[in-house]
Amino acid sequence: MALFSFRSGKADLPASPQPTLEAFLKGYSIEVMPRTAEKIDDFRTLLPAGTRVYIAHIDGTPIEDMVATARRLSQEGFAPMPHFPARIIKDRATLTEWVSRYRDAGVRQGLLLAGGVAKPLGDFHTSMQLLESGAFDGFDRLHVAGHPEGNRDIDPDGSDRMVMQAARWKSAFVERTDAKMAMTTQFCFDATPVIAWVNRLQAEGVALAVHIGVAGPAKLQTLIKFAIACGVGSSLQVLQKRAMDVTRLLAPYEPAGLLADLAAHKAANPGFGIEQVHFFPLGGIKTCAQWVMDHGGASGRPAIAA
């Protein structure tokens, strides 16, 4: 799942981490793919011990590569959370095999999502079917996807009717089971729609904590490319506006402004539904991990994420 968040205007934060931002980044997670993980000699030099590391499963990636990456992360002391994209899973037997192989590799968490292919390859096409399958009984955590600015694949009319209906269903699933769940979101670049969306979830009775997706430092052109490919909504205009400013076009994007805004809102509203931050290292995992560390994200994981 390619999921990301930003705000224009404000420049970089001071070198010394701000207390509200440091608290907001505590227990952050990050995402890798098998081919990018291969370039890292030792994740222990980059990430706090116990960090949750999502493993993106792109269509065509061999399950052997996914399991090997998960096993390595587990052995290095991290909590691997592989993606389970429903639309690329052929059948129940395949799902059972994947879960079994991941269990043997030390996996106890999974991100369940529909997946980015238009036509399902087999029996599954939604994360709700995966949740109902029973294949994940005994897992410690099951996360699902969130879309602060909607999803045209789910709601072609531009509304969020089906997305919100699915969110209510997933919240009800938590209430009738003992599943520990959260909603990990697509990325965006403006705090305002994120805050409005999280508040609306709570107003709609959706009791899932939000792990907000944020793009790590990257070239502006790279972010625009990913944002368009992933269907990011109105906040894409923030990046496009920045791209029109020649003086800022070549400067790398950093998520300092967005995170400062969200952290300040969380500090002022403790009941606000964002629980953690999830980074998409589109400019490289080393660059992203160093940036997070420099901004106060090296203080380890909170008990709530265990």
Task: Read off the pLDDT of residues 46-84 as tens digits, 9 standing for 90 and up.
Answer: 999 999 999 999 999 999 999 999 999 999 999 999 999
For the segment 76-101, the average pLDDT, to the nearest whole number, is 97
Per-residue pLDDT for 132 more than 50?
Answer: yes
Q: What is the DSSP string of 134-199?
A: -TTTT-SEEEEEE-TT--TTT-TTS--HHHHHHHHHHHHHHHHS---EEEEEPP-S-HHHHHHHHH
**Looking at residue 277, what is its pLDDT?**
97
Most confident of 19-23, 48-52, 177-181, 236-240: 48-52
* 57 φ/ψ sector (left φ>0, alpha ψ -120 to 50, else beta): beta
Cα torsion at 21, 24, 26, 29 (round to 10°)?
-110
Higher pLDDT, 15 or 169: 169
The per-residue pLDDT for 262 is 96
Q: Are 36 and 44 in contact (CB under 8 A)?
A: no
Angle of helix 191-203 versus helix 256-268 axis, rounded to 10: 40
For the chain, percent of residues with pLDDT exceeding 90: 68
Residue 238: predicted pLDDT: 58
Which pLDDT belongs to residue 10? 41
Element (H, E) at 81: strand 79-85
Does residue 241 contact residue 9 with C-beta atoms inside 8 Å? no
pLDDT band at 16 (very low <50, low <70, confident <90, very high): low
CATH of 19-301 given 3.20.20.220, 3.40.30.10, 3.30.420.40, 3.30.470.30 = 3.20.20.220
pLDDT score for 246: 44
Least-confidence region, from 131-140, 273-282, 292-301: 292-301
Q: Does the pLDDT value for residue 226 go beyond 90?
A: no
pLDDT of residue 21: 93
As given in the structure block, the two tokens for residue 144 are 């699902």
Question: What angle (nearest 5°) sits at the alpha carbon of residue 263, between those of residues 198 and 28?
Answer: 85
More confident residue, 248 or 257: 257
The average pLDDT across 237-242 equals: 56
pLDDT at 174: 93
Confidence (pTM): 0.86
The domain locations on the chain are 19-301
When the pLDDT of each residue in the chain is averaged and rounded to a whole number, the result is: 85
Residues 178-223 have pLDDT tens digits of 889 999 998 887 899 999 999 999 999 999 999 999 999 988 777 7
In single-letter form, the type of residue at position 238 comes to V
* Residue 158 Rama label (left phi>0; alpha psi -120 to 50; beta): left
Lowest-confidence pick of 14-28, 29-43, 76-90, 162-176: 14-28
* 3-state DSSP of 272-297: CCEEEEEEECCCCHHHHHHHHHHCCC
Is 70 exceeded by the pLDDT of residue 229?
no
Amino acid (1-letter code) at residue 146: G
Who wins on pLDDT, 5 or 239? 239
Look at residue 235 and tell me whether its pLDDT is greater than 80: no
Among 306, 255, 299, 253, CA closest to 278: 255
Q: What is the pLDDT of residues 145-174, one digit of tens each?
A: 998 876 666 656 766 788 889 999 999 999
